[in-house]
Amino acid sequence: MALFSRKNKTTEPKALDTVASVAVATDHNVAAVIQKPHITEKAVSLSDNRVYTFMVKPDATKHQVRDAVTALYNVTPVKVNIVKKAPKQVLSRTRGRVVSQKGYKKAYVYLKAGDTINLV
């Protein structure tokens, strides 16, 4: 009486199981990755060189940002750089007490030559 056999049991996976696992692996909301364009003086000057800045979700990756920009603006990003600003405590000049500055994550998206995004 053997509890463990040495024979390998092979079973064919069901078609529904493979389709569901592929859909879950690639399914993510690309519109929720980009929160808003980050428009500052520096960002506007960089947009002349086809570099655009976006505020993104704190858990967003470069590949998700690339897919979201491609889906939303119909352009092809060449490179994506991500910068995280840590939250910090600073002394307020007007209130005379310590206030908190929130942290955020932003992405610099470099576009292919000839592509532009109209943010304004």
Q: What is the pLDDT along the chain (120 residues), one digit of tens a residue?
A: 566 667 776 666 555 444 443 333 445 688 899 999 999 999 999 999 999 999 999 999 999 999 999 999 999 999 999 999 999 999 998 878 999 999 999 999 999 999 999 887
Please give the model's pTM, rounded to 2 decimal places: 0.71
pLDDT at residue 93, rounded to an integer:
87
pLDDT at residue 10, rounded to an integer:
66
Residue with tokens 């808003």: 36
Q: Is 59 helix (H, G, I), strand (E, B) or coil?
A: coil
Task: Report all structural domains of the chain as residue ranges with CATH numbers, in order of start.
Answer: 33-111 (3.30.70.330)
Tokens at 42, concatenated: 């520096």
pLDDT at residue 1, rounded to an integer:
56
Please give the Cα distance from 31 to 70 (Å, whole number).
11
Q: How many CB atoms lie within 10 A of CB 107?
A: 25
pLDDT at residue 15, rounded to an integer:
52
What Cα–Cα distance (Å) separates residue 62 from each residue in 19, 34, 69, 78, 90? 26, 11, 11, 11, 30
pLDDT at residue 21, rounded to an integer:
39
